[in-house]
Amino acid sequence: MKEQFEASLKKLYVESNNRSTLLLEADYKLLLSEVKETQRLRNSGESLSSKQYRRLKRYDLLNIGQDEKLIAKRYTDNDDIRFYVYLDQLFDIIHAAHINTGHKREKVLKNITLPNVKKRRKLSLVLTELDKHYYRST
């Protein structure tokens, strides 16, 4: 499943003109280092190029322990943190979120009571009989 997902994403990457939406690991690391260098230049008071200004306007870095993560620029502390990830990380992130949500399965199962099951079964039997009657008459 993971291989099929990644193959589809890589095909999409090859066919896409929008390289800022789908990032390969090398592109991600290059972007991360460019943002880091741009922030260093800004903090030291050096002049920046227009490309570097675009980097500052669009991206920011978030330090988590020893790791630096590339995030979308936040303008207030209340803004959500949006992480940039590269294609090889995407499946694992989506899969973990999928597993962790649990589809509220336990809550749904708790709400199914015996009377509901009996009503559903009775309705199913009625519909089956109606189908039999319909097909006999045609």
Q: Mind listing the pLDDT tens digit for each residue in 6-20?
A: 888 888 888 877 666
Kind plus residue range of the DSSP H or E element containing 23: none
Beta strands in 13-138 (DSSP E): 59-64, 67-72
- Render the burial of 67-102: b for 16+ CB within 10 Å, e for the rest: eeebbeeeeeeeeeeeebebbeeebeeeeeeeeeee
**56-100 per-position pLDDT tens digit:** 999 999 999 999 999 999 999 899 999 999 888 888 888 888 878
Residue range 106-132, pLDDT digits in tens: 665 666 777 777 777 777 777 777 666
C-alpha span between 105 and 64 (Å, rounded): 32
Rounded distance, CA 114 to CA 87, Å? 46
59 neighbors 72 (Cβ within 8 angstroms): yes
pTM: 0.65
Q: Say if residue 23's pLDDT is above 70.
A: yes
Question: With 90 as the cut, is the pLDDT of residue 33 above it?
Answer: yes
DSSP state of 8: H
The whole-angstrom separation of Cα 34 and Cα 20 is 14
Structure tokens belonging to residue 135: 């097909």
pLDDT of residue 135: 56
What is the pLDDT at residue 59? Answer: 95
Q: Record the tokens describing residue 1, joined without a space.
A: 């499943």
